[in-house]
Amino acid sequence: MGICDGRVAIITGAGRGLGRAHALAFAAEGAKVIVNDVGASLTGEGHDISPAAEVVATIKAMGGEAVINDDDVSDWDGAGRMVQQAIDTFGRLDTLVCNAGIVRDRMIVNMSVDEWDAVMKVHLRGMFCPVRHAVDYWRAMSKAGTPIEARIITTSSGAGLFGSVSQANYSAAKAGIASFTIVSAAELDRYGIKINGIAPSARSRMTQDAFAEMMKKPDSGFDAMDPANVSPVVVWLGSSACEISGRMFETSGGELSVADG
């Protein structure tokens, strides 16, 4: 028995890195998974379904159930289609993990408004649109008398909590995600919806260049920056066992702390 047996989870940005690790971990714990990824570059250009297709194939090879979704999560209609796909394919939706993101790093004095807007769009609008559609579904069920054990996990960052030089756009977006999580927890609890966030430290396309030495895979021993180390926390937060809401967790391999205040 897995901790997410019978649950249906959407993971955005699930083609690579943390999102991929989350999708595999949810599947290993019994969840049916919608693997969302547009397959864009690190800076948000392009479209390629092959990363998401590989994740779906891996889950199926494990004996799990998964489908691809390549909708743009920052597009209102696209986010709605993604949520509806979960319901149409698997009959329900229980967990939403908002993980999609891009970077366009630049010092403030050189940053263009387009670079600012692009990062805000994916991180903030790309979180809000799926959350809003999922909440509409769960709220309607709650009002109809159906018990709800819905879970949302957002993805902030140490940059959002403490700032990161040359990442003013990314840091501001991630700080906004943390605030959104706290406010949403207060507003959504009445419907049976719990929402928490993570500020992960792990090796990914976003970190492997900017923090190359810190993220370097060790020659031997425990790989603290393996993204798979973060996923067990996310899976638990996405399960019915999680009864907390409105918290932000800093997490990496072997470490977990609550960012409070």
Give the residue numbers marked as catalytic.
Answer: 170
Residue with tokens 């879970």: 151
User: How far is residue 203's CA from residue 223's CA, in Å, rounded to a whole number?
Assistant: 10
Secondary structure element (H or E) that encloses residue 68, with its range: strand 66-69
Beta-bridged to residue 92, according to DSSP, are none
Q: Single out the residue of 200, 172, 22 nearest to residue 9, CA to CA.
A: 22
Q: What is the DSSP letter of 16?
A: S
Residue with tokens 């969302």: 36
Q: What is the token pair recorded at 92?
A: 């329900």
- The length of the chain is 261
